[in-house]
Chain A
Amino acid sequence: MRLEKCWFCSSTIYPGHGIQFVRNDAKIFRFCRSKCHKNFKMKRNPRKVKWTKAYRRLHGKDMTQDSTFEFERKRNRPERYDRNVAENTLKAIKKIDKVRVDREARHHALRMKGKKAKEQREAAKELEQSIHMVKAPAVLQQEPSLTLPKIKVKVSQQQSDENHAMEE
């Protein structure tokens, strides 16, 4: 039993899944599901299709070079079954997976970094504009602790009288 990779999306193909297409030049294309197969038939380039691993690796969204990938290289030599080796391999697979996931998370965090200032500005603006959706403006005026500190603007007495007249 061998776990293959889908030619289009690079996900693993487990036994019992997918279609294998053999072209006349003897190149074998394996697909994990009909979505990938249909995209292939449409002659789409996986490097241009956003949800594939090929695109993500090409555009730096996912890790490309890592020592954990060395463990997954294809080996064509059959190994003699040895119980201890098998047990150690299974343990190692778990550990390597954990390490790889951690590294990928770190890569992702690194990619998403550097937006703190922008996020602060956006949050402040949203608070200012849409606070009426959460709390009624009347309550906000009564309890000054709920609002952001406002800059005081001097308004002349005449103008405030006019405003009151208009509201009524």
Chain B
Amino acid sequence: MTNTVTLNHLGRSVFGGLGNISSGSLRTSLDSTWNNFLSQQQQRTFIQMRTVLKVVDNSGAKKVMCIQALKGKKGARLGDTIVASVKEAHPNGKVKKGEVVYGVVVRAAMQRGRCDGSEVKFDDNAVVLLDKQGQPRGTRVFGPVPHELRKKKHLKILTLAEHIA
């Protein structure tokens, strides 16, 4: 009598545990899909090889793919220069598709620490194309740009920018 009672208890607890796990996993998978749908936030990692970035000047390119981050082992961050290949371009622009260009990252989804201890992050990854000397190739820059460009001596971009974050 007592043995069956204890077995029943065990069975019920195990089943209850299993039930909990299954319902929990269901909920988490639903939650994750829901969160993915809702948040759709940018991945917050370095800019490395094969990262596609938006071009925010009027040099003619629209999207570039990073080939090399010129400083940093893990990848480029906000304010670093990269070597990139133009993947998508405006039909009549200075820059053509398939060209290898240099660019400076002006917006990065990955947060960058500021010297006062706070952190900044942007909504997307964006570059401004440069020439070999570091001067911008376009004449306008769209969207906000960070202060960090001042330290990296990209003052021309700062003057062209419409908003400095």
Contacts and interface: CB of A to CB of B under 8 A. Distances in A.
A26 B163 CA distance: 7
Nearest to A24: B123
Contacts of B38: 42-43
Contacts of B165: 20, 22, 26, 28
A28 B107 CA distance: 13
Interface string A32-76: 000000000111000000000000000000000000000000000
A112 to B, nearest CB: 38
B162 A26 contact: yes
Contact of A24 (B111, B121, B124, B146): B124
A113 to B, nearest CB: 42
B41 A24 contact: no
Interface stretch (A10-18, A85-93, A102-110, A159-167): A10-18
A77 B94 CA distance: 43
Contacts of A41: 39, 41
Q: What bracket does the count of chain A residues touching chain B fall in?
A: 10 to 19
A141 B11 CA distance: 50
Interface in B20-55: 35, 38-39, 41
Contact of B119 (A1, A20, A28): A20
Contact of A16 (B116, B121, B144): B116
Chain A at the B interface: SS class: loop
Contacts of A1: 116
Interface residues of B, number: 21
Contacts, number: 55
A19 interface: yes
A140 B162 CA distance: 81
Contacts of B146: 22
A23 interface: yes
B117 interface: yes
13 contacts: A1-B116, A15-B116, A18-B118, A19-B119, A19-B121, A20-B165, A21-B123, A22-B123, A24-B124, A24-B144, A26-B163, A28-B165, A42-B38
Given A1-B116, A15-B117, A16-B116, A22 B122 contact: yes
B134 interface: no
Given A22-B165, A24-B124, A24-B144, A16 B117 contact: yes
Contacts of B124: 24
A155 to B, nearest CB: 47
Contacts of A18: 118-119
A42 B35 contact: yes
Nearest to A13: B118
